A and B are shown apart, each in its own frame.
Chain A
Amino acid sequence: MADEAHGGGGLSFHPMDQFQVKPLFGSYGDPIHWYTVTNVTLWLGLSILAVIALMVLTTSKRDVVPGRGQSIAELMYGFVYKMVEDVTGKDGIKYFPYIMTLFMFILCANFLGLIPMSFTTTSHIAVTAILGFGVFFAVTILGFVKNGASFLGLFWVSSAPLPLRPVLAIIEIISYFVRPVSHSIRLAGNMMAGHAVLKVFAGFAQVAAIAPVAIIGVMAIYGLEVLVSAIQAYVFTILTCVYLKDALHPHH
C-alpha cells in the first residue's frame, strides 16, 4: 500500500515520521489530550529509568574504591560539579542539583533517542523550549531577586565609552531575549536534523545498488550523532551555567 501511494516501487522517504507523537494505546488519529499516555510519556519514563540506573543503582554499594558503574556516576557528578563551580563560582554551587537535572535529562534523552525505532524527546521544540525558557525565566527572576534593579546593569556596559553604551544596551537586551530561543532551538534542531539525516540515508538503502554506501553513511552519521548527543547536553548545560553566572554577578 505504501508503494502504491508513492508511485509504485520508487523510493519512499519518511524522515519526519519518527518524530510523530502517537498515543501509546489506541491508534493514530485518536485525539491527544494533555494527559494521554503517548510515546513521549514512554521515552520520558525511560529517561527517568536511565537516570536512576546511571546515578542511583551504580552507587548503591558506596565503594571507596569505585567499580565501573560507580566511576561513571562519579565522573558525571564531578564533571557537572566542576563546570558549575568554574563558571558560576562558589555561590552557584547551590543550584548544582537543578543543573545536574538538566544535564542528566538531556544526556539520557539524547542517547535513548539513538536507539533505532525510538522516539527522541529532545528533538521536539516543545520540550526544549520548556527547558530553555525555564532556564531563562529562572535566571531572570533569580537575577532580580539577588540584585534588585542593579541586575539591569547587565545591559549597561560600564567599561565601554559613554556614547556607545546605549547602542550596546540595545544589543545586549536583544541578545538577552534571544537566548532562550537559541538555547532551545539549538538542541532540538541538532537532534532533529541528525535523526532526519539518518532516516534519509536509511531510505537510500532501499536501492540495492547504493545500499552499501547508504549503510556506511548511516554508520558514519550515527557516530557523529553519538558525539552530537553528548556535546549538545554539554552545551546546554554550560550555557545554563553562563546565564546563571550573569544572574549572580550581573556586572561586567
Chain B
Amino acid sequence: MADNTNAAAEVAAGAPPGMPQLDVSTFENQIFWLLIALVAIYFVLSRVALPRIAGILAERQGTITNDIAAAEDLKARALEAEAAYDNALSDARAEAQRIAGETKAAIQADLDVAIEKADAEIAAKAAESEKAIAGIRAGAQEAIKEVAKDTAKEIVAHLGGKADARSITTAVTSRMKG
C-alpha cells in the first residue's frame, strides 16, 4: 500500500505519466553515476580481481603440470622396478631349474649304481638259490628211488616172491622215468 500511496502522491504532485525511462530530466544523473560505477568496476576488476584469478589459474595449471610430471616419473620408476623384479624372478627360476637338473642327474647316477649293485646281488642270490633247489631236487629223487626200491622189495617179499635187487632197480628206474 505504501507504494500505492506514494504513487498517488506522485500523481498529485504532477509526475509525468508513462515511462520514467523517457524522462529526459533524469538522464544526466543516471549517466553521471553510471560512468562512475563503470570506472569503479573496471578498476576493481582490472587491478585486483582479474590478475588475481589469472594468477590462481596459472598456479593451478603449474601445480597440475608438476603433479603429472611427478606421476609420470613415479610410473617410470615403477616400471623399472617391475622389470628388475621380472629379471630377478626369471634368473631365480633358471637357477632353480639348473639346480633341480643337477640334483636330478646326481640322484639318477647314485640310483643307477645302487640298482646295478642290487641287480648283481639279486642275480647272485638267485643263482645260489637255484643251485640249492637243484641239489634239493636231486636229493629228493635219490630218496624217492631208495624208498621205491625198498617198498617194491618189501611188497614183492610179502607177495612171496624173491626179487633180485637188479631187476627191482631197473623197474623202479623205468617207472620213475615214465
Contact = CB atoms under 8 A, between A and B. Distances in A.
B59 interface: yes
Interface string B45-58: 11011101111110
Interface string B4-16: 1111111111110
A15 B7 CA distance: 10
A64 B59 CA distance: 7
B159 interface: no
Interface in A108-144: 121, 123-127, 130
Interface residues of A, number: 56
A77 B58 CA distance: 13
B29 A38 contact: yes
B56 A126 contact: no
Q: Interface residues of A: mostly helix, strand, loop or mixed?
A: helix
Interface string A153-175: 00000000000000000000000
Nearest to A1: B8
Nearest to A42: B33
A124 B21 contact: yes
B49 A55 contact: yes
Given A32-B26, A44-B37, A48-B37, A56 B15 contact: no
B13 A73 contact: no
16 contacts: A3-B4, A5-B8, A14-B7, A17-B20, A35-B29, A38-B26, A40-B30, A40-B34, A55-B48, A62-B56, A73-B53, A74-B53, A100-B45, A101-B41, A124-B20, A130-B35
Interface of B: 1, 3-15, 18-23, 25-38, 40-42, 44-46, 48-50, 52-57, 59-60, 63
